[in-house]
Amino acid sequence: MYSKPDSFGESIYYVITKLISHDIGSIAVPCFFLISGFYFFYKNDDWSFCFYKEQLRKRTKTLLIPYLIWNLLYIIVCLFKNYIVYHFGGKYDDAYFVIQKNSWIDLMWAIPDGYYPYNFPLWYLRDLMCMILLSPIFYFIFKYAKVYALILLTIVYLLGIEIPFAGLSSTAILYFGFGIFFGLKKNLLSVIDKFGRAANYLFFVLFIVVVCLRFQGYIYIDYFVRPLVILGVISAINLVDLVATNNKIYNILAYLSETVFFIYALHAIYVVNWVRGLFSRLPISNNWCGLILSYFLIVLVCISICISIFYILRRVCPRVLSLSIGGRIKLNNE
């Protein structure tokens, strides 16, 4: 039931990285699912085939095309890197053999036993596309079962029950469902405002519990993290709503908002491992204090690199960049 790191210093490093990357970090994708679901029916309370067809057309540009581009690009980069290494006398790595032994469908949708596409961060886009396809089901369930359907989805999520099919994660189903429910009601911010303070307190208490369990190496911690994420999503939206009242902060975030998808698609596969490799060779990584400091520095360096690449591409090839991120930037002639 318990698995502890070897030393106290390693325990601190382990707990900090797990809390930020896996526990607090797990709040981000549910927020995106919720927002996507919220705006799906926000301007249209009723479902119709014409409305559904138009939504699918829009998502082809914003989701499907970027999904295909970034998956194919990563496969091409991995193959190219391996061919170069092999040409100069090196050996093929595991990534090469994964590509060789799996079909294109597996690589683009879900590698067997992994439930992730080859470009694994894109599982979010894959699941979101599935949710878009299933949106009529969400609509009619919430229309007739109302809040009881939401309660049932929440129970399934908290129990960790998963559908054994890639693209239908309980995370996607619950938070996209939450979004649609509140989008139809048009009352997300009012509910957040009503329960936000209580959610903040509960989040803090549960966060302390998770910290203690992390130190103990409790392996069933996921049952505590899932309610933590629900509370964290409420707190995050509440925080953003408060921050938005500050014009300076709002303008900075609005200016950088067009980089979000690009950073998401680029960082985990192409940038962060290179930056980690660089820091692992520096003297700062020789002790656990340095490891903790480098952990935060890696984030800053990685984001800085991604933003720099984004604005270089925006200047050099804006149309290609726009296509790859689903038209999330405005071109000069628009």
- CB count within 10 Å of CB 16 equals 17
The SS3 assignment for 1 reads: coil
In terms of Cβ atoms closer than 10 Å to its own Cβ (0-12, 13-18, 19+), residue 156 is: middle
Which residues, listed in sequence order, are joined to residue 2 by a DSSP beta bridge? 218
Dump pLDDT digits (tens) for 25-52. 899 999 999 999 999 988 777 888 999 9
Stretch 289-302: mean pLDDT, rounded?
91
To which residue do tokens 């239908």 refer?
168
As a whole number of angstroms, the distance between CA 117 and CA 267 comes to: 16
pLDDT at 334 (0 to 100): 53
pLDDT tier for residue 180 given thresholds of 50, 70 and 90? very high
Check whether 1 has a pLDDT greater than 50: no
In one-letter notation, the amino acid at residue 259 is T
pTM (two decimals): 0.90
Q: 117 and 71 in contact (C-beta within 8 Å)?
A: yes
How is residue 137 written in tokens?
A: 């089901």
Can you list the alpha helix ranges (DSSP code H) found in 257-317? 260-266, 272-280, 288-316
For helices 222-243 and 188-216, angle between their N-to-C axes, nearest 10 degrees: 140
pLDDT at 112 (0 to 100): 82
Report which of residues 232 and 285 the model is more confident about. 232
For helices 247-256 and 222-243, angle between their N-to-C axes, nearest 10 degrees: 120
Stretch 72-95: mean pLDDT, rounded?
90
